[in-house]
Structure 1
Amino acid sequence: MSTTLRRPALSPSRAGDFKQCPLLYRFRAVDRLPEKPTKAQVRGTVVHAVLEDLFALPAVERVPDRARSMIVPAWERVKAERPEFSSLFATEGSDEEAQWLESATKLLDGYFGLEDPRRLEPESRELLVESELPSGVLLRGYIDRVDVAPTGEIRVVDYKTGAAPREVGEAKALFQMKFYALVLWKLRGVVPRQLRLMYLADRQALAYTPDEAELSRFERTLDAIWQAIMRAAPTGDFRPSPSRLCDYCDHKAFCPAFDGTPPPYPGWPEPDDTEPLQDRD
């Protein structure tokens, strides 16, 4: 089977990584160092899968009980696709796993507290979008949901399974949404009317309305990030930027800021590499 070869691209997550710590960007995007998935991250994957599948059902069937019944099948499918997730629990079918699945149920209940999916017909779910900016940087990402009104207005929806963030976390979430808005603007020639973040755990929704001037400024920000990446790419001079977030990093053992030594730099992936620089955001 032939493999589609893709150029290195910038995603919301990797752009955020570089802003937070250039060395973290290198570890994730270039070295591809493994990271141990957390129960919260995998639970988010399962909930996203259920919400994607929910909108494949006839509108009348998009009710809480049906969504709850889809959790276990979604979990089984996720494990089949990512076998390493099976190691999250020491014993399959344990009380711990049951409690974890129940916590996913509560997140879905939170979703239904924010909107009625029977009244919606999204244009797209889990939409992969790509656009090349005039500077040459290729933007790539996955959008949870795109709604298009009969009058043509676009709404970008993103589900968050963590708690609603404070100011710093909210800025990070809006960075991701502006990224999606910019790509859709480039692809469709229309600035999305609304960016909607849905925090299922807290049953809170944040709405934001971008404009062309703001997205143009954001485009320049992404260009600057990519140019900084390109300056470091030939030599691997991605430097650490220590912060409180280092406490949550899986790669501290390799970080010079903590007396670690990074692995040998593998070199910047060329456009014809078979392993694309992309991720699911």
Structure 2
Amino acid sequence: MIEVFSLPETLSPSGTGTYQNCPLQFRFQNIQKLPQPPGAAAVKGNVVHRALELLFQVDAPLRTHAAAHDFLATAKTEFEPTYDITGLNLTPEQATKFWADCTTLVDSYLRMEDPTTVDAIETEMWVTAPLDKVALRGIIDRIERDANGGIIISDYKTGKAPRDIDVEGRMMQLQMYAYMLREMRGEMPTSLQLLYIKDGIRHTRTPTEQSMRFVHTRTNALFNAIEKSCATAFFPTRKSGLCNFCNFKSWCPEFGGDPAKAAVEAPIKYPRPPQ
């Protein structure tokens, strides 16, 4: 008897990327929702995102370097007792380096732009839009107005900037945000920008009606593929360099694993503390 998997109720830009990179990882992560351990790089990104979210919640003249560091200290206080940090099992020396890296990332952001000049109107905003069979959902890091009143969508990245040939693929996430925001507000954003904080690199694009149609067509097609995978239990693997960073490698057939065992073994391998 073929196992049938429940369809996801919503899709996120990151989720669509996961399915494209590896449908089996998407099954483990987005459908079965198996536990994973926190990763230092991802948690650093979350800490820095939180510090910048707090920074842009105060009036522009108050967004000083000192304020940014104060908000990073607030983020540290918020994160330290959580599993995101405790689950990393850092030694004292590793913890010192972890927080120093967060400080370096905040300082790198402050070299990229002057936050007092940004007309921020929303931070960490939930957006959604219906597609043919599913709702698209996501969180936009920052929405601002340009000098002419147009909307700019900004997304912070704390990892390494991509090669030039890979930028368009990374921009698809922002095109999806633009699609959702336009559906919610009836206003097309004028600019999309990816801020690679670590490397001080900014990539910008202009969304168009053509790119919005592409988002709609492409995402519907992806969901149709997901629907077929759930009905047939066929979630193929796609071996790549990303496998080295996958928490589900133990249950991947590419590495001798059995996907059927993941639901039982993942909670044992990656136990979560009681809520």
TM-score band (shorter)?
Answer: 0.7 to 0.9
Q: Distance in 1 between matches of 2:170 and 2:161?
A: 10
Q: Show the counterpart of 1:121.
A: 119
Q: Distance in 1 between matches of 2:90 and 2:172?
A: 37
Moved more, 196-205 or 62-71: 62-71
1:151 Cα deviation after fit: 4.6
Q: Distance in 2 between matches of 1:264 and 1:225?
A: 26
Q: Distance in 1 between matches of 2:191 and 2:61?
A: 26
Q: Show the counterpart of 2:86.
A: 86
Cα distance, 1:195–1:246 mapped onto 2, change above 3 Å: same
Equivalent AA in structure 2 for residue 97 of structure 1: A
Q: Distance in 2 between matches of 1:253 and 1:190?
A: 46
Structure 1 segments unaligned to the other structure (5+ residues): 1-6, 267-281
Equivalent AA in structure 1 for residue 76 of structure 2: W
Q: Distance in 2 between matches of 1:265 and 1:201?
A: 35
Q: Distance in 2 between matches of 1:263 and 1:215?
A: 38
Q: Show the counterpart of 2:58.
A: 57
Q: Show the counterpart of 1:205.
A: 202
Equivalent AA in structure 2 for residue 201 of structure 1: K
1:135-164 CA-to-partner distances (Å, cap 9, x unmatched) read 122100000011134754111000111121
Residue 142 in 1 paired to residue 139 in 2? Answer: yes
CA contact (8 A) 1:236 1:265 kept: no
**Aligned with 1:234: secondary structure?**
helix
Q: Show the counterpart of 2:212.
A: 215
1:265 Cα deviation after fit: 9.2
Q: Distance in 2 between matches of 1:220 and 1:84?
A: 36
Q: Show the counterpart of 2:159.
A: 162
Could you tell me which of 217, 233, 238 is aligned with 2:235? 238
CA contact (8 A) 2:38 2:87 kept: no
Q: Show the counterpart of 1:106.
A: 104
Q: Distance in 2 between matches of 1:247 and 1:43?
A: 19
Equivalent AA in structure 1 for residue 197 of structure 2: L
CA contact (8 A) 2:43 2:84 kept: no
Q: Distance in 1 between matches of 2:146 and 2:12?
A: 27
Moved more, 41-50 or 116-125: 116-125
Relative to the length of structure 1, the TM-score reads 0.85
Structure scoring higher RCO (CA < 8 A, sep ≥ 6) equals: 1
CA contact (8 A) 2:13 2:138 kept: yes
**Aligned with 2:189: secondary structure?**
coil
Residue 262 in 1 paired to residue 259 in 2? Answer: yes
CA contact (8 A) 2:251 2:262 kept: no
1:103 Cα deviation after fit: 1.3
**Aligned with 2:112: secondary structure?**
coil
Q: Show the counterpart of 2:273.
A: none
1:11 Cα deviation after fit: 0.3
Residue 14 in 1 paired to residue 32 in 2? Answer: no
1:241 Cα deviation after fit: 1.8
Cα distance, 1:96–1:265 mapped onto 2, change above 3 Å: closer
Q: Distance in 2 between matches of 1:230 and 1:54?
A: 41
CA contact (8 A) 1:125 1:146 kept: yes
Cα distance, 1:265–1:223 mapped onto 2, change above 3 Å: farther
Equivalent AA in structure 2 for residue 146 of structure 1: I
Residue 130 in 1 paired to residue 128 in 2? Answer: yes
1:168 Cα deviation after fit: 5.5
1:235 Cα deviation after fit: 3.5
Q: Distance in 2 between matches of 1:171 and 1:84?
A: 31
Q: Distance in 2 between matches of 1:77 and 1:202?
A: 26
1:258 Cα deviation after fit: 1.9
Q: Distance in 2 between matches of 1:233 and 1:177?
A: 27
1:40-99 CA-to-partner distances (Å, cap 9, x unmatched) read 11111000000000012232221112211222320221244x3242132444xx232122
Q: Distance in 1 between matches of 2:95 and 2:166?
A: 28
1:189 Cα deviation after fit: 2.1
